[in-house]
Structure 1
Amino acid sequence: MRTLFKTVGLLVVILIVTIAGFVLWYGREQNIDFTSYLRTPLNTCNGEVEVNTIEYETLLDWLSNNQSGWTNNPATFAPGYFYRSDEITVSVLDNFVVINFLADGEWSQVQKSANTDAIRNECVGNS
């Protein structure tokens, strides 16, 4: 009977350590260069954004300056202003950004709290 309790106790400890490790790994901050995911045209709720436009360059600069501090988040967010291509969707909300991106054939979602004034716009048309 003691052996059974020791075995069960050991399995519980292993399970707790495994879950804690996963939570720490999943919640870690990541450095991601999203500039390589930008393809044109980028679709927005106001139409297309092409390379060499002020809006495209502003987004590119913002992503270049915000490569660190991204965390995983499984929640679904109501999109605000967005930029979308086949490999990335950048949803811009008040003071944070949610990015869904295709990496190695699988979609991932990360978010970051940051000043979004430079890339946040209002949707004025239908897309």
Structure 2
Amino acid sequence: MSMSIKPRVVGIIGCGQVGAHVAFVLAVRGEADVILFSDVNVERAKAQAMDLEDAVTYLPHRVICRTCSTEDLGICDVIVLAAGTPPAGNQSRLDTLPNTMRVVKSVIDSLNKGTMKTFKGIFLCI
């Protein structure tokens, strides 16, 4: 009898400071086998994926880092929504809430068009 091990796949929507730090911790601790980055700024997502894959090269576990669209996140075990509006100047997080809510609504609307029909994992909004 052969046994296959399913890779642990985590999708991160939003590749800014929060999303990048979440991905780094998941990779360094070996909590994910595959990390998929999705961001409206595709070049930033690509850069994060390449940088993280380089950073974990010599760790004792393997982590694959790639970019994808939100439509491709249905294969994930966990999706982390880390998209939002960062504070500018002396703004508090509460000051950014209206803009962040618009971003979250836009992402959720996009996910509901396809990804959430096949997604069977954990959805985490941070």
TM-score of the superposition, structure 1-length normalised? 0.26
TM-score under structure 2 length normalisation: 0.26
Higher relative contact order (CA 8 A, sep 6+): 2
